[in-house]
Amino acid sequence: MENSVSSRSLKSRLRRMSDTNLLLIITIVVFIFMYAMAVVFLGSGFLKPQNFFNILNENASLIILSCGMSLVMITGGIDISVGQLTSLVCMSCAVFLDMKGGDVGTSMCIALLIGLAFGVVQGYLVAYLEIQPFIVSLAGLFFAKGMTTIVNATQFNVENQQFVAMKNTRITVPFMGSYNKKGVYIPAYIEIGVIVAIAVVILLFILLRWTRLGRNFYAVGGNAQSARLLGINVKRTKFMAHLLCSLLAAIGGYVYFMHVGSGSPSHADGAEMNAIASSIIGGTMLTGGVGNIVGTFFGVLSLSTIKNIVSSLGLDEAWWTNITVAFMLCLFLLVQSLVLRRKAGAKK
């Protein structure tokens, strides 16, 4: 008796579930499914915690970029300049550290300043001059691309000692290590970037859930007109979203820089596509108003798990990764389209 009541309430709860939660659950299920597939097909290597941590290490910057992307997408915009911005930040910091003999603290400030500059200009153009975000950020993408080669056109490794020390810092995770064949304990580790990424995820989660600005993002993305009638400053909210996105891209860029330790014009090529794909897989709606930072986090993990599977299957020619990412993107866009249709149907 009690059981049936609870099951019924579960059913009705599922039916009434908001799009945000529904898409979040889809994402988490997809991730678990992917990971299970990886374990089944590729052996127990994927069961080792270190394998999971490696995914985090590899994708710390992507997590940060995707979080910024989700913010903008929740307000109904998009920002495709983040990938090249990452590249520009890498190159500028690398040149500053290696050729100008700068110190690490100042290089971080430079990264943030670049992000701030991009954020202010793009945010102003999108929010106050009401230009399509895609066009603005396309111009931003090309500007950053050109600027990167103007700063320096070739790839080089940074040999600044302070920086290399920071780059090589490993944080061991207790109790998660594994024994190798000889029975020697190898501790599991993560890089500094992962800590930054997780901090960003937590901060943004709090921002979106419990602060006025965060709720305004959803309101503006859901319906700008009614948000304005509710007394929300729509323009400022959009401006803030783009500003935050560019700042996060700069932070993500620095994390990427710490991971690779070099500057190159081809760094983070196509990262914007991965960020958009992760956000969409994570349940952020392109139409705005729906999205979740936790979902985005799992979106990145799903995407990189798929990439790992593809490359471990021996299809490691670069094109297969691109095709799978595109396929995933397509699939989730269709799912979103269906969710929207369901919503429209429910209204009728």
Partner 1 sequence: MTSNSLKKKSFVQKLVAITRMQLFIPVAALLVLVVFNLIADPSFFAIKLGQNSAGQPVFSGYLITILDYGSELAILAIGMTLVTSASGGQDISVGAAIAIAGSVILKVLCGNESRPDHMKAPIIVAFLVACVVAMIFGAFNGALVAFFKIQPMVATLILFTAGRSIAAWINNNELPIISDESFSYFGTFIPGCPIPTPVFIAAACMVVIFLVLKFTNLGLYSQSVGINPSSSRLNGINPAVVKLITYVILGLCVAVVGLIKVSRISTINYSVVAKDIEMDAILAVALGGNALSGGKFSMPASIMGAYIIQFLTTTLYKFNVNSSALPAYKAVVVIILVVLSAPVVREKFNQLKKSRTSGKTVKEAA
Among 37, 42, 333, 339, binds partner 1 (CB under 8 A): 333
Q: List the beta bridge partners of residue 233.
A: none
Site string for partner 1, 289-328 (x = CB under 8 A): ----------------------------xxxxxxx-xxx-
Nearer to partner 1, 22 or 335 (CB): 335
Q: List the beta bridge partners of residue 156.
A: 263
130 binds partner 1 (CB under 8 A): yes
134 binds partner 1 (CB under 8 A): yes
Which string of b and e fits 267-287 if b means at least 16 CB within 10 Å? bbeebbebbbbbbbbbbbbbe
| Helix boundaries (H) for the chain | 2-16, 19-42, 49-74, 82-98, 104-123, 133-151, 161-167, 192-210, 212-222, 224-229, 234-260, 271-281, 293-312, 318-347
145 binds partner 1 (CB under 8 A): yes
CB of 6 to partner 1, least distance (A): 37
The tokens describing 269, both together, are 């090529």
CB of 322 to partner 1, least distance (A): 4
142 binds partner 1 (CB under 8 A): yes
Among 9, 169, 334, 342, binds partner 1 (CB under 8 A): 334
Stretch that binds partner 1, among 7-15, 94-102, 125-133, 215-223 (CB under 8 A): 125-133
Q: Cα–Cα distance between 38 and 312 in angstroms, integer? A: 9
CB of 7 to partner 1, least distance (A): 34
49 binds partner 1 (CB under 8 A): no
CB of 285 to partner 1, least distance (A): 11
Stretch that binds partner 1, among 27-35, 214-222, 237-245, 333-341 (CB under 8 A): 333-341
CB of 27 to partner 1, least distance (A): 18
Q: Cα–Cα distance between 303 and 242 in angstroms, integer? A: 24
120 binds partner 1 (CB under 8 A): no
Q: Cα–Cα distance between 80 and 286 in angstroms, integer? A: 13
Return the CA Rg of the chain. 21
Distances (CA, A) of 106 to 93, 160, 183, 199: 9, 13, 44, 21
125 binds partner 1 (CB under 8 A): yes
Q: Cα–Cα distance between 69 and 125 in angstroms, integer? A: 17
Nearer to partner 1, 31 or 332 (CB): 332
Q: List the beta bridge partners of residue 173.
A: 188
The tokens describing 9, both together, are 């309430």
Distances (CA, A) of 82 to 249, 263, 346: 5, 16, 36
CB of 175 to partner 1, least distance (A): 39
Q: Cα–Cα distance between 207 and 212 in angstroms, integer? A: 8
The values of phi and psi at residue 159, to 5°, are -115, 10
Q: Cα–Cα distance between 90 and 255 in angstroms, integer? A: 9
Stretch that binds partner 1, among 30-38, 142-150, 155-163, 304-312 (CB under 8 A): 142-150
330 binds partner 1 (CB under 8 A): yes
136 binds partner 1 (CB under 8 A): yes
Nearer to partner 1, 202 or 323 (CB): 323
149 binds partner 1 (CB under 8 A): yes
CB of 40 to partner 1, least distance (A): 26
Q: Which residues of this protein are in contact with partner 1, per CB under 8 A? A: 78, 125, 128-132, 134-136, 138-143, 145-147, 149-150, 153, 265, 270, 273, 276-277, 286, 317-323, 325-327, 329-330, 333-334, 336-337, 340
